[in-house]
Amino acid sequence: MSKVDEIKENIGWLKVIFGLLAAIDVSLLGWLAQNYNTASEIILGTAFIIIIILTVGVAVVNRKAYQKIRELGDL
């Protein structure tokens, strides 16, 4: 497999991971917005922490994808 194909495949996987993390993040944020009055404080705190972790994950995957795209442009 050539280097270009390898980078394209990596970008493809990063797109999948980015999409999954973003969908889970938005879904959990929506759940939190709807249930903040009725859910227990432990569940709310856990959800908030997970949202922060997922948001950081989305940012990290986004940065890695852009690095791969730049790397692809350098070839």
Per residue in 26-73, pLDDT (tens digit) is 999 999 999 999 999 999 999 999 999 999 999 999 999 999 999 888
Asked if residue 6 lies in contact with residue 36, where contact means CB atoms within 8 angstroms, the answer is no
pTM: 0.85
Side chain identity at residue 45, one-letter code? G
Tell me what pLDDT residue 14 has.
95
pLDDT band at 3 (very low <50, low <70, confident <90, very high): confident
Neighbours of 9 (CB within 10 A): 12
Neighbours of 59 (CB within 10 A): 12
